[in-house]
């Protein structure tokens, strides 16, 4: 390619521009610089390796550089908004992680390959993707694990193929990602036993479903038959059975605590939970459990509270898929306008719950 000769700027102006390039100074004015040895032009803030001064030519704008025979840098992308550039960088890194989830992607290595600092990359990756690079890699590995398990691969092989390195590493993650052990996931939750019982409350029939670790299902319904059907749908493959007689005393204690809670007499019932959901759902639900009694938040406020301000719609979906009423208080999330919004178990129940909490909070100073 032939590079057209360019009339030099006065030395003082070129020197100022060169200093801006050396210091990656974004406030030094609108110009680009071309490198005659590569035929590429960049903005002064480009993170590429600095060329020799004698190989650099300066231009007032990208059009002038291209007219002189230079082509745009694929890293700094002159003329493209910085936010769009970072979005492309982050999406490309995410694609690399998705392509090789078993590979170890250290933040330092990702930052080095992208040309940004670790802090800058981590902050922007989380803002754009919704999770840190480490969290994203864990999720990618879990997707690979699920794929391998669905192919009937031996559990140990699937774990190592997904890049976890050891069975202990994946068992640290299963509650948040699979919602069950790898063996249970592969078999469609076969072997998992859920016992259920129902009772009357001020807000209607309430069913509790529990594993040996705690309550995994707590929902209102029109009939026990409908609730059992819903329990079976949500935990397809599990063995669903009526609560054994040996556990009736425990069930009565739970129901008593829930009824007291519904009457505003026990603001914070301490019952064991076996929460199952995606990593994002768990983040939302844990945040809701920390909300003060009688407090409400908008979907946007919850999204901001978990560090994902653009995820209001995803927060709404997490609330809608909550399987544990009351104990994960999704009824405390309302629309930004102040309207109650939706509620899985009916808007009337939501209104009564909020009114009860507000009244008891005011009277008792909870």
DSSP string covering 262-279, please? HTTS-SS----B-----H
Distance CA 178, CA 279 (A): 9
Compute the distance between CA of residue 353 and CA of residue 349 in angstroms, rounded to an integer: 6
Instruction: Give start and end residues of each alpha helix (H) in 162-311.
Output: 167-171, 174-177, 182-186, 224-234, 248-262, 279-289, 299-305
Q: How far apart are CA 301 and CA 54, in angstroms?
A: 54
Yes or no: say if 360 and 264 are a contact pair by the CB < 8 Å rule.
yes
Radius of gyration of the chain (CA): 29
**Looking at residue 9, what DSSP letter applies?**
P
- What is the secondary structure of 124-143 as a DSSP string? HHHHHHSS-HHHHHHHHHHH
Joined together, the tokens standing for residue 291 give 């909300």
Identify the residue whose tokens are 């009736």: 248
Q: Which two tokens stand for residue 342?
A: 């939706």
Report yes or no: 205 and 251 within 8 Å, Cβ to Cβ: no
Structure tokens at 283: 């983040």
Query: Could you confirm whether 42 is annotated as catalytic?
Result: yes
Alpha carbon distance 292, 336 (integer Å):
18
Is residue 204 helix, strand or coil? Answer: strand
- Angle in degrees, 0-180, between the axes of helices 133-150 and 82-99, rounded to the nearest 10: 40
Beta-strand relationship, 204-211 and 71-72: unpaired
CA distance 25 to 310: 30
73, 216, 319, 330: the active-site residue: 330
**Residue from 42, 73, 76, 319 carrying the catalytic annotation:** 42
Report the Cα 146 to chain-centroid distance in Å: 18
Instruction: Kindly list the catalytic residues.
Output: 42, 330
């Amino acid at each position: 390619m032939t590079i057209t000769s360019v009339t030099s700027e006065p030395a003082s102006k070129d020197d100022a521009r060169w200093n801006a390039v050396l210091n990656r100074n974004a406030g030094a004015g609108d110009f680009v610089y071309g490198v005659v040895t590569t035929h590429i032009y960049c903005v002064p803030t480009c993170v590429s390796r600095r060329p020799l001064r004698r190989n650099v030519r300066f231009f007032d704008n990208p059009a002038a550089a291209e007219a002189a025979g230079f082509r745009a840098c694929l890293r700094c992308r002159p003329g493209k908004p910085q936010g769009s550039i970072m979005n492309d960088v982050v999406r490309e890194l995410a694609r690399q992680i998705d392509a090789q989830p078993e590979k170890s992607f250290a933040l330092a290595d990702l930052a080095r390959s992208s040309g940004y600092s670790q802090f800058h990359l981590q902050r922007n990756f989380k803002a754009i993707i919704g999770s840190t690079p480490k969290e994203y890699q864990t999720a990618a590995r879990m997707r690979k694990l699920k794929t391998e398990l669905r192919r009937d691969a031996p559990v140990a092989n699937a774990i190592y193929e997904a890049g976890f390195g050891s069975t202990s590493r994946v068992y640290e993650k299963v509650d948040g990602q699979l919602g069950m052990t790898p063996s249970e996931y592969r078999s469609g939750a076969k072997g998992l036993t859920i016992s259920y019982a129902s009772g009357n409350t001020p807000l209607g029939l309430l069913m509790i479903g529990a594993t040996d670790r705690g309550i995994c299902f707590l929902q209102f319904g029109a009939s026990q038959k409908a609730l059992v059907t819903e329990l079976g749908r949500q935990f397809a493959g599990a063995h669903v059975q009526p609560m054994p007689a040996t556990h009736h005393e425990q069930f009565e204690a739970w129901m008593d605590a829930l009824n007291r809670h519904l009457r505003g007499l026990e603001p914070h019932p301490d019952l064991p939970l076996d929460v199952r959901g995606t990593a994002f759902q768990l983040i939302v639900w844990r945040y809701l459990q920390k909300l003060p009694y009688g407090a409400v938040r908008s979907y946007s406020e919850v999204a901001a509270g978990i560090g994902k301000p653009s995820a209001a719609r995803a927060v709404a979906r997490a609330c809608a898929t909550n399987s544990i009423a009351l104990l994960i208080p999704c009824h405390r999330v309302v629309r930004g306008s102040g309207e109650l919004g939706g509620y899985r178990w009916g808007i009337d129940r939501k209104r009564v719950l909020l009114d009860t909490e507000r009244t008891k909070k005011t009277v008792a100073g909870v």
